Amino acid sequence: MLVLLVAASLAVPRSVDARVEALMRRMTLDEKVGQLIQYNPSQHDLDKLIAAGRVGSVYNLHSAEQATELQRIAVERSRLHIPLLIGQDVIHGFRTIFPIPIGIASSWDQSAAELEARVAGREAHAIGIRWTFAPMVDIARDPRWGRVAEGAGEDPFLGSAMAAAYVRGFQESSILACAKHFAAYGAAEGGRDYNTADMSEERLREVYLPPFKAAIDAGARTIMSAFDSLNGVPMTANHHLLTTILRNEWHFHGFVVSDFDAVDQLRNHGIAATPQQAALKAIRAGVDMDMVDGDYETLARAVREGLLPVSTVDAAVRHILREKFELGLFDHPDAAESETGLDRADARRVADESIVLLKNEGAILPLSKKIGTLAVIGPLAGSKRDMLGSWFAHGNPDDAVTLLEGIRSTVSAQTNVLYAEGCGILDGSDQDIAKAIETAKQANVVVLALGEAGGMTGEASSRAFLDLPGRQEQLLESIVATGKPVILVVMSGRPLTISWAADRVPAIVWPWFPGIEGGNAIAGVLFGDVNPSGKLPISIPRSAGQIPVYYAHLPTGRPANPNNKYTSKYIDSPSEPLYPFGFGLSYTRFDYSDLRIQKTGNRFEVSAVVRNAGSRAGVEVVQLYVHQRVARVSRPVKELKGFERIALGAGESRRVVFTIAPKDLRYWLGGKWVVDPGTFDVWIGPSSAEGLEGTLKYSN
């Protein structure tokens, strides 16, 4: 147990603010600047820096012992005993690894996101981590960008719902959430990570900012500034966003941390020539804490040289100390608690819900567990590592159940399960493929598991081509050529272009990277123990040439019309994606009927009856879309404004009711939100591409 010197050394004032002020009155300038600095564990002389009160936070520690040791130095050896805030990338699990966030988003289940965050937060807290650099809430409409894997896809309404859920989950486990990367990082040109973002204030306000606002409204206590420059201003020096919007308009009270080395990267951005100039630009814009590059060490000298008022430093220190007090760090800085075992049941539940069934021709799925001979082929079939995707913290690939293992433990003892890797994810040989062909020929059905390597997605993993990497396309064609029915399972951190397969295989199942219980979850879907309910949170393009392709686009003056040459479309490809936002199949059928619109004051109740017309229970994600027909600026052809997951037994019906309020009809114009009177189209349906249609007339 750490010796708690802090309480004894301070008169214990009542409120957190009073405790902050009492402490600040005793701090030297160097100790104040120290609170603004985060180092990674490899920092030279870290122990000495902590003991001298020059470190506010450390990150990505490896063990409870390391956390306890560093915290002990801070609390017992530093002059003012200010505890460290220990942070970590806890993105989709800590020890128990869940599906990657784009997979969790495919569940459209806020309780699933909250559950993952609560479990991950509890496991991280157990080793002394009190801050996670999650949720990543960047809207992404370009799957070439590797960090699609970490977010909730293309839509701000779904993205906002998931952002709030993650924040609730993390902070229920007493670790600070960090909504990142503020802002518009997912709009990097070319899908190239760290690249320029450029957009109107309208698009920023309507698409890229709402998930951050939702995270803050849900209580997020920290924000991470992004690497990108937005309209020419690097986010880490962007006063308009970090102070005018975040502080003055949204009244955010937590603190802002830069991304890794992003303060010093202001020199690469070309707006600072020295570390001190970079540090001054960042802190003046509103970045409170500098992540690992150490440029904020120059701030004490800047104050002494009259380049920076101490009040600016004080404001940043207050933001950070307040969170340390609120977290209870001063009262309970000790780290390690008893580590809990893996939470497989929760990881399985979330994995089950995150799997999207994209095709099921002739209802070939679910397969019979008594199938005679099943061939399981492909580089993702037997891989444990790749099930975890990217950013898997203290997860252990050995904990993962592979698809092959999941299938073997699901089918009957009489079923003969054959396996061939066929090729690697990025390489392979002819004899490997030949062996796979021979294996397929012996089977009644082939389950073909293809996709990306877990390490191919996440940060610094942009791809110019979205096809199946390596020799997987050749393996796919070779296996299809055997004439055997092929169930394609695609594991990836982003949409891939699988048009060739979509035309030729009878079934496509998309589990993304499904986490440690992935193999069992996919097998559960393949053999019918689980009725898939996932829906796409991001459009799947036919080709990289279509990008960006997303559902909430503007109509243009010449909306695509296949019968009119002179309309907005391609001459060599359809315009719509291969699979649209919100799409996902089930083993049962849901019928929609009886759309009703009822006006009450300035709100509308829009409802429809959903019926499970099939022979087995299932879950449907019912979606509400809205379109303003005439406005002062062009408006998207559809925007998601509601969704609800409903479970229905065979033959069961339920009326699903959504409420549309004026705020749901607003858009950003001339520096403020506006709502126009007029006619709005509304849809209730199973995806962005179909549904019952109605209209409502809104008058202010």
Rule CB under 6 A: which residues touch ligand GLC? Answer: 89, 133, 180, 259-260, 459
Q: Which is nearer to ligand GLC, 89 or 620 (CB)?
A: 89
Q: Shortest approach of ligand GLC to residue 262 CB, angstroms?
A: 8
Output the CA torsion 680→682→688→690 (10° steps): -130
Nearest distance from residue 168's CB to ligand GLC, in Å? Answer: 20
Q: How far is the CB of 260 from ligand GLC (least distance, A)?
A: 3
What is the rounded distance in angstroms from the CA atom of residue 442 to the CA atom of residue 272?
65
- Cβ distance to ligand GLC smaller for residue 47 or 261: 261
Parallel, antiparallel or unpaired: strands 255-257 and 222-225: parallel
Nearer to ligand GLC, 91 or 682 (CB): 91
Cβ distance to ligand GLC smaller for residue 109 or 459: 459
Minimum distance from residue 259 beta carbon to ligand GLC (Å): 5
Backbone angles phi, psi at 88, to 5 degrees: -160, 150
**Token pair listed for 530:** 């689980």
Nearer to ligand GLC, 262 or 404 (CB): 262
Q: What is the per-residue DSSP string for 512-540?
A: -S--TTHHHHHHHHHTTSS------SS-B
Closest to ligand GLC by CB, 206 vs 323, is 323
Report the residue number, 363 or 460, with the smaller CB distance to ligand GLC: 460
Q: Distance between CA 206 and CA 672 in Å, rounded?
A: 11
- Residue 84 near residue 336 (C-beta atoms within 8 A): no
Q: How far is the CB of 40 from ligand GLC (least distance, A)?
A: 8
Measured from the CB atom, the residue of 120 and 606 that comes closer to ligand GLC is: 120
Helix or strand run (H / E) with residue 21: helix 16-24
Residue 256 · residue 242 · CB < 8 Å? yes
Q: How far apart are the first and last CA of the chain?
A: 62
Tokens of 265: 């990267």
Q: How far is the CB of 35 from ligand GLC (least distance, A)?
A: 19
Q: Are 372 and 118 in contact (CB under 8 A)?
A: no
Give burial (CB, 10 Å; 0-12/13-18/19+) of 118: buried
Backbone angles phi, psi at 460, to 5 degrees: 55, 40
How far apart are CB 58 and ligand GLC at their closest, in Å? 12
Rounded to whole angstroms, the Cα distance separating 568 from 572 reads: 13
Residue 542: CB minimum distance to ligand GLC, A: 30
Q: How far is the CB of 458 from ligand GLC (least distance, A)?
A: 9
Which residue, 101 or 518, has its beta carbon nearer to ligand GLC? 101
Question: Phi and psi at residue 385, in whole multiples of 5°?
Answer: -55, -45
* Cα 513 to Cα 501: distance, rounded to the nearest angstrom: 20
**Residue 42 Cβ vs ligand GLC, minimum distance, rounded to whole Å:** 13
CA neighbor of 330 nearest in space, from 320, 338, 339: 320
**Order of strands, edge to edge, in the sheet holding 416-420?**
356-360, 507-510, 486-491, 445-451, 373-377, 416-420
Q: Which amino acid is residue 444, in one-letter code? A: N
Residues 6+ apart with CB under 8 A from 169: 113, 114, 115, 116, 117, 118, 120, 121
Using alpha carbons, select from 424, 425, 438, 440 the residue that is nearest to residue 377.
440
To ligand GLC, the closest distance from the beta carbon of 155 in angstroms equals: 21
Instruction: Return the axis-axis angle of helices 275-285 and 310-327, rounded to nearest 10°.
Output: 70
Strands, DSSP E only, in 268-403?
290-291, 356-360, 373-377
Q: What does the alpha-carbon distance between residue 243 and residue 248 come to, in Å, rounded to a whole number?
A: 6
Task: Say if residues 184 and 193 touch (Cβ distance below 8 Å).
Answer: no
The sheet carrying 131-132 orders its strands as 131-132, 85-88, 57-59, 37-39, 290-291
* DSSP label at residue 423: S
Cα separations (Å) of 388 from 274, 280, 354, 398?
40, 39, 14, 10
* Residue with Cβ nearer ligand GLC (168 or 180): 180
User: Would you please indicate which residues are annotated as catalytic (active-site) residues?
Assistant: 259
Our CB check for ligand GLC shows the closer of 92 and 180 to be: 180
